[in-house]
Amino acid sequence: MSRVETALEALGIALPEPPAPVAAYVPVRIAGSMAFVSGQVPMQGGVLQATGPVPSQVSPDAAADAARLCVINALAALKAALDGDLDRVEGIVRVGVFVASDAGFAGQPQVADGASQLLVEVLGTAGKHARAALGCIALPLGASVEVELIAALRDASN
Amino acid sequence: MSRVETALEALGIALPEPPAPVAAYVPVRIAGSMAFVSGQVPMQGGVLQATGPVPSQVSPDAAADAARLCVINALAALKAALDGDLDRVEGIVRVGVFVASDAGFAGQPQVADGASQLLVEVLGTAGKHARAALGCIALPLGASVEVELIAALRDASN
Amino acid sequence: MSRVETALEALGIALPEPPAPVAAYVPVRIAGSMAFVSGQVPMQGGVLQATGPVPSQVSPDAAADAARLCVINALAALKAALDGDLDRVEGIVRVGVFVASDAGFAGQPQVADGASQLLVEVLGTAGKHARAALGCIALPLGASVEVELIAALRDASN
């Protein structure tokens, strides 16, 4: 088991099967030593775990949990793209966290911390990343949160 | 004619003259082997083809057509930046699709497919990309859709 | 003093102390020859200089000034990440400008020009970048504008 998955297991997290590619895009695109992971929504067992804007329909804390779930889905997608070896992830470069927001909601950073903190719990210092967090009027499928990320990769031959 | 433009021609698409650079940014910025294309709106012949939020002012289908037009403009900008040789595009890495949305609209993926599908029609497997699709309360010039992308480039000497 | 800071000084701009890292992300993440700068808000002396949507609560001109301030904060963060040497910045690759917007506001480009123009004033042609500008229903801390960017770096040994 990779060190990354050992860290996930210590947190009680088992990676799901990654979602099948839909439409004309792919979950992960590798270019040089960077892996671009498509926007992930808080899907678990085929069901969105948080829908609608924050805070009128979903509390900031629940949205932070949803952001964490988006990261779990991103790691599952990365694992599949890296032939099962998450230890090829050298670190996380940039994370975009998009929060379905009511007008006037200013707590996107706390929601985004749900994503950022898990990456650091799992990857340590290498998980520290640049981040942009935004409030969106709506997100795909009605999700409350969407997370995309760029990971830096080690050479496959290492 | 490049293979990419041959594929465009087979789809009945002629690339327009790229829009002139406005203000202090440029349509395309190349860094190493990646070309970053600025956000494109569905402009055709100097006229925006879709304005206002989806679905109250523009249907999801019309917005998907607009997303396709954004990609045509992105390819025109790339062609100009690559001295006319679109075959230097090795593939598409990441696409951002921003959809002017009413509250509660959840169909950003279908709109974004208008962009993604054209890239795959034109570039084949190399056109498959990571993607993030968001709903925005408003977009530049009142556009219904905006698309930005990152392309991977072949070495110029190939 | 670096050439970049000399140019800033000529504009009457002194870089502030960069904001301390908060939560689990970092102000700047370097990957290869690219530096990813986290989303910056128009903070000055610990106080946000523009809050609420454009144009109902902040005029487009004031928002453009705020975008300029976001870039100053981004340059301060870059300086700290580059051990004080901003001349390691070879150029600016991509800028994302997120504008808190009322429904129907279409002037995100003018707001974003506040960011883009400063980058060109300071870095010259090397400051010209690809850009995406979006309208957001809300932004972190209630900011009117948020700017993130990617800079290309010279080799440290140059």
* pLDDT for res C125: 93
Please report how the helices B108-123 and B3-10 are oriented relative to each other, as an axis angle in degrees rounded to 10: 120
* pLDDT for res B157: 55
Q: Is residue C30 part of a domain?
A: no
What range does the domain containing B70 cover? 3-18+30-153
Q: Distance (Å) from the C-alpha of residue C34 to the closest C-alpha of chain B?
A: 9
* pLDDT for res A158: 45
Tell me, rounded to whole angstroms, the distance of Cα C42 from its chain centroid.
9
pLDDT at B28 over 60: yes
Question: How many structural domains comprise chain C?
Answer: 1
Q: Is residue A158 part of a domain?
A: no
Q: Is residue B24 part of a domain?
A: no
- Section B84-100 average pLDDT: 97
Q: Is residue A115 part of a domain?
A: yes
Gap between the Cα atoms of A50 and B83, Å rounded: 47
- Section C93-109 average pLDDT: 98
Please tell me the least confidently modeled range out of A147-156, B29-38, B48-57, C69-78: A147-156
Gap between the Cα atoms of A95 and A149, Å rounded: 4
Surface-to-core class of residue C33, CB atoms within 10 Å of its CB (0-12 exposed, 13-18 middle, 19+ buried)? middle
3-state secondary structure of C153: strand
* pLDDT for res A134: 98
- Section B132-140 average pLDDT: 98
Q: Count the helix, strand and coil residues of chain C and give each as a percent rounded to the nearest 5.
A: 35, 30, 35
- Section C89-115 average pLDDT: 98
Q: What is the pLDDT of residues C44-83, one digit of tens each?
A: 999 999 999 999 999 999 999 999 999 999 999 999 999 9
CA angle C51, C26, C84 (to 5 degrees): 100
Gap between the Cα atoms of A144 and A65, Å rounded: 11
Closest listed residue to residue A76, CA positions, set A30, A28, A111: A28
Q: Is residue A99 part of a domain?
A: yes
Q: Does any CB of chain B come closer than 8 Å to the CB of residue C140?
A: no
Number of DSSP helices (H) and strands (E) in chain B, helices first: 3, 7
Q: Is residue C24 part of a domain?
A: no
Q: How confident is the model at residue C119 (pLDDT cuts 50, 70, 90)?
A: very high
CB contacts < 8 A, A to C, total 95
pLDDT at C35 over 50: yes
* E strand or H helix at A76: helix A60-81
**Of B25, B28, B53, Cβ closest to residue C116:** B25
Q: Does any CB of chain C come closer than 8 Å to the CB of residue B137?
A: yes
Average pLDDT taken over every residue of chain B: 94
- Section C136-144 average pLDDT: 98
Own/partner contacts of C84-89, CB < 8 Å, gap of 24 or more, are: C85/C2, C86/C2, C86/C4, C86/C5, C87/C2, C87/C3, C87/C4, C87/C154, C88/C153, C88/C154, C88/C156, C88/C158, C89/C4, C89/C35, C89/C123, C89/C126, C89/C151, C89/C152, C89/C153, C89/C154
**CATH code, domain with A79:** 3.30.1330.40
Q: Which residues of chain A have pLDDT under 70?
A: 21-22, 156-158
By C-alpha distance, the chain A residue nearest C37 is A130
Gap between the Cα atoms of C98 and A131, Å rounded: 13
By C-alpha distance, the chain C residue nearest B34 is C93
Look up tokens 């599908």; give the residue: B117
CA distances from C149 to A7, B20, C71, C78, C127 (A): 31, 23, 9, 10, 11
By C-alpha distance, the chain C residue nearest B37 is C130
Q: Is residue C28 part of a domain?
A: no
Asked if A24's CB is within 8 angstroms of B119's CB, the reply is yes
Q: What is the pLDDT of residues C14-25, one digit of tens each?
A: 999 887 766 779
Asked if C132's CB is within 8 angstroms of B137's CB, the reply is no
- Section C121-125 average pLDDT: 94
* pLDDT for res B22: 64
Average pLDDT taken over every residue of chain C: 94
* pLDDT for res B158: 45
Cβ-contact B29, C130 below 8 angstroms: yes
Q: Does any CB of chain B come closer than 8 Å to the CB of residue C136?
A: yes
Phi, psi of C113, rounded to the nearest 5 degrees: -60, -25
Largest CA distance in chain B: 49
Residues of C in contact with A34 (CB under 8 A): 31-32
Q: Is residue A35 part of a domain?
A: yes
**Helical residues (DSSP H) of chain C, grouped into ranges:** 3-10, 60-81, 108-123
Residues of C in contact with B98 (CB under 8 A): 132, 134
